[in-house]
Structure 1
Amino acid sequence: MNLRQQRIHVALLSIAQGLLLINGVTMIAVSGLVGLVLAGDRQLATLPVTFAVIGTALTTLPAAFFMKHYGRRSGFMIGALLGIGSALVCAYAVYSRQFWLLCAGTLLGGMYGAIGQQYRFAAADVADLSWRPRAISLTLAGGILGGVLGPEISKHTRGLLEPAFLASYLALAAIGVLALLIASRLHVPPLSHKAQHAPGRPLGQIMKQPAYLTALLAAACGYGVMNLLMTATPLAMDICSHPFASVAFILEWHVIGMFAPSFVTGSLIKRFGLGPILVTGAVLMFTCIGIAVSGVSLMHFWWALTLLGIGWNFLFVGGTTLLTETCRPEERAKAQGANDFVVFTIQGVTSLASGATISAAGWASLNLMAIPLVTLTLAATLWWMGSGKGRRQTA
């Protein structure tokens, strides 16, 4: 595949990533509030989001192995169909006022999300080694569409139909159709017959590598902390009497913070190395926590959630780039699938803890819960850098 073809496919993957994030951001923006209405209990309000994360965690390994044998395009098309089904089930749940059906719909959405997590690895598959960090970061940069359009869709469709947010879910079904069309145009080079059937090293041996552990912790910290705080943000702002328009504004800037840096993260990795980027991501997470516990004004939420997004970007892009360097082609499915399984299991735990903690202990206590995971990630990264590999250029 020549450079022009690589760029075309990365552009398609970036658009697909954007459509995935429109779905995810809109789901997060509305499902907690819809869950509160349907369940009538703040402690259960984030359960639909938790079901989405459970769906993601349960599907990561099957998705990776399916694509190993049947190709990226087939997997991504199935993911888009799951996204369409998720939106329609959620819409019917809102219409019929069934809380557990809403959870079932978000579970399907989580399965779509798990398959969509492979977009970044597909970008690594189509890119030459020298262009791989930038291909990964540019693919993730497509998520800025989610940051801009997701909150706007939820805001402008909230009252279009009755009950509230019914039109929001129907709009996501249309987004899923677009994702299906994009997936049908992808032609990611398949693995060779030998790579499809070669066992490679045992997973335990792969995961014992210091680089793999560092990559795993970076991604788990990025997603775990981000999900813990972002999932609770609509509820926290509601408790603090901020209007829904302000919630949409904060989530919009949070997702922009998550994905806008991707236009430069790959270049920063090439210039400074993976280690400094991971350390910077952890420091930004600490800064986010410090701001969040210092107040609950709109600007406190804005600064905290924006820095949370940027910290997530550095940790996740850096961790993904490092992960691609720890496994051989025949080991990608199990190495990438295991990584995502751990990451989204942690995300599921943090999502479940989010609603219960903010109801019982408040926003400040919720933020303090994130400190141990960020500290562990920073320590692991510094340990890996101390081995002399953290400043190695990815070129």
Structure 2
Amino acid sequence: MFGTTVWGLALGQALLITGNILLISVAALVGQHLAPDPDYATVPIALQYIGLMCITLPAAHVMKWVGRKKGFLIGNVFGVVGACLAYMALSVDNFYIFCCGTFTLGMSIGVGQQYRYAAAENAPKNKIPQSISLIMAAGIIAAILGPNVAVWFEHWFPDVQYQGAFLALIIVYLLTMVIIQLLPLKKPSIEEQQGHTRSYKELLKQNDLLGAIVAGAIGYGVMVLIMTATPLAMMHSGHNFSDTASTIQWHVLGMFAPSFFTGKLISRFGCSKVIQTGCLMLVGCIALTQFGITYWHFSIALALLGIGWNFTFIGATSLLTGTYQPAEKAKVQGLNDLIVFTCSAAASLLAGYWQNIFGWQLLNLMMIPFIFSAMITVAAIQKRAELYVESN
């Protein structure tokens, strides 16, 4: 069904997310160790998302002119540099160098967000949702490798906890560069580079585009905030690091395992229904957090959080791909990712502070109004589309 290019991009995505999950597993804990104040423990993760946010729009436009291959290689260079900075920060016990490292790693992850768009471009038009799902399904490899690499390399250097994890991260990015170099990625077409493009104002008049952005931003933001707060909440509840890593693993499995069938669900039921089902999964996660703080309460809630994110994110991405012409893809993809990851950056920045101020259960309850607003927005857009079809 898919060629070498899509499968290669899926492998690149798997390695990218492996590094991302490894970073998520340890960054808040390293931050808590190095930070001058406990409230700043999640600042390194926030800076990862800020770096991601800052690069999304430039990355989309750079790829429009230099192509996917060179763009992805540049992104992986950022990854190597960021991992080296984090490794160095742990050597000298410096919080600020570690923050620079996570910011640069975020830039690499931001460039990697284009993998799903590249896969859609290299798949038959009727298989676009499935190609996006395949890219996201590659995260199952990351679900297994990411947390385990963090545990395996936690004491690689006996005197400095977690330093070995960042050495492993350097290797992951170097390996990804080799894979990308071997892929026959398409060069930008003349139409993509020189075709007519509508203004942002005109583009944003499309209901589907607004729905995709709102669903993607809220789904991702809620997921990031709860996920980022989880290691701190589990530590405060008396759980050890291996339990935390295992919980993150369940979460990542929830994020990516449904990808094997999410594309088919979208093809059968439509993007809106899949997005709304994802929102209900997010509500289910929050409901479960109110009943206990055992390992299984955390793990099942985080698995539901992952499934909810999968449905909202893949649904939103699939909805987005139908809202632009070839020459407009850099504008639309860049704008969408800028907004989505701005929300993610804000969520990760607030996670540690809100966890310390409000506690685990109230922090989760505060997410419900955002989720309901996404559901209402998508439902209203679907209703307008149905009325338009009936009137014509």
TM-score by length of 2: 0.97
Q: How does 1:172-211 map to 2 (within 5 A)?
A: 172-211=169-208
- Which residue of 223, 228, 233 corresponds with 2:230? 233
Aligned to 2:274, the other structure's residue is in SS state: helix
Aligned to 2:238, the other structure's residue is in SS state: coil
Cross-structure match for 2:353: 356
- For residues 191 and 383 of structure 2, the distance between their equivalents in structure 1, rounded to whole angstroms, comes to 37
- For residues 164 and 133 of structure 1, the distance between their equivalents in structure 2, rounded to whole angstroms, comes to 41
Aligned to 1:387, the other structure's residue is in SS state: helix
4+ residue runs over 3 A deviation? none
- Which residue of 356, 367, 371 corresponds with 1:374? 371
- Which residue of 141, 145, 149 corresponds with 1:149? 145
- RMSD, aligned CA: 1.3
Task: Describe the superposition over 1:299-341 as per-residue Cα deviations: whole angstroms up to 9, x where unpaired.
Answer: 1101110000000000000100000000111000010000000
Cross-structure match for 2:211: 214
- Which residue of 266, 269, 272 corresponds with 2:269? 272
CA contact 2:191–2:326 (8 Å) conserved in 1 = no
- For residues 194 and 343 of structure 1, the distance between their equivalents in structure 2, rounded to whole angstroms, comes to 27
CA contact 2:223–2:306 (8 Å) conserved in 1 = yes
Q: Percent of aligned pairs with the same residue?
A: 40
CA contact 1:191–1:329 (8 Å) conserved in 2 = no
- Greater CA deviation, 367-376 or 68-77? 367-376
- Which residue of 40, 54, 58 corresponds with 2:54? 58
One-letter amino acid matched to 1:386? K
- For residues 57 and 343 of structure 1, the distance between their equivalents in structure 2, rounded to whole angstroms, comes to 8
Cross-structure match for 2:40: 44
- Return the offset for 1:40: 4.6
One-letter amino acid matched to 1:166? Q
- For residues 111 and 9 of structure 1, the distance between their equivalents in structure 2, rounded to whole angstroms, comes to 23
> Does 1:257 find its partner at 2:250?
no
Task: Describe the superposition over 1:77-111 as per-residue Cα deviations: whole angstroms up to 9, x where unpaired.
Answer: 11111111111110000010000100000001000
Q: How does 1:241-390 map to 2 (within 5 A)?
A: 241-388=238-385
CA contact 2:66–2:188 (8 Å) conserved in 1 = no
Task: Describe the superposition over 1:119-164 as per-residue Cα deviations: whole angstroms up to 9, x where unpaired.
Answer: 0000111011111110011011111121111000011111110210
- Which residue of 90, 95, 103 corresponds with 1:107? 103
One-letter amino acid matched to 1:360? I
- For residues 13 and 150 of structure 1, the distance between their equivalents in structure 2, rounded to whole angstroms, comes to 18
- For residues 262 and 194 of structure 1, the distance between their equivalents in structure 2, rounded to whole angstroms, comes to 31
- For residues 165 and 195 of structure 2, the distance between their equivalents in structure 1, rounded to whole angstroms, comes to 45
Cross-structure match for 1:72: 68
- Return the offset for 1:261: 0.6
CA contact 2:250–2:302 (8 Å) conserved in 1 = yes
Cross-structure match for 2:156: 160
Aligned to 2:127, the other structure's residue is in SS state: helix
- Return the offset for 1:199: 4.3
- Return the offset for 1:389: 5.2
- For residues 83 and 107 of structure 1, the distance between their equivalents in structure 2, rounded to whole angstroms, comes to 10
One-letter amino acid matched to 1:228? L
- Return the offset for 1:293: 2.1
Gaps of 5+ in 2: none
One-letter amino acid matched to 1:388? A
One-letter amino acid matched to 2:203? I
CA contact 2:272–2:382 (8 Å) conserved in 1 = yes
- Return the offset for 1:222: 1.7
Cross-structure match for 2:86: 90
TM-score by length of 1: 0.96
CA contact 1:282–1:311 (8 Å) conserved in 2 = yes
- For residues 104 and 199 of structure 1, the distance between their equivalents in structure 2, rounded to whole angstroms, comes to 39
Summarize the Cα distance change of 1:194–1:272 in structure 2 as closer, same or farther, 3 Å threshold. closer
One-letter amino acid matched to 2:20? G
CA contact 1:24–1:113 (8 Å) conserved in 2 = yes
- For residues 195 and 164 of structure 1, the distance between their equivalents in structure 2, rounded to whole angstroms, comes to 48
CA contact 2:50–2:342 (8 Å) conserved in 1 = yes
Aligned to 1:196, the other structure's residue is in SS state: helix
Aligned to 1:160, the other structure's residue is in SS state: coil
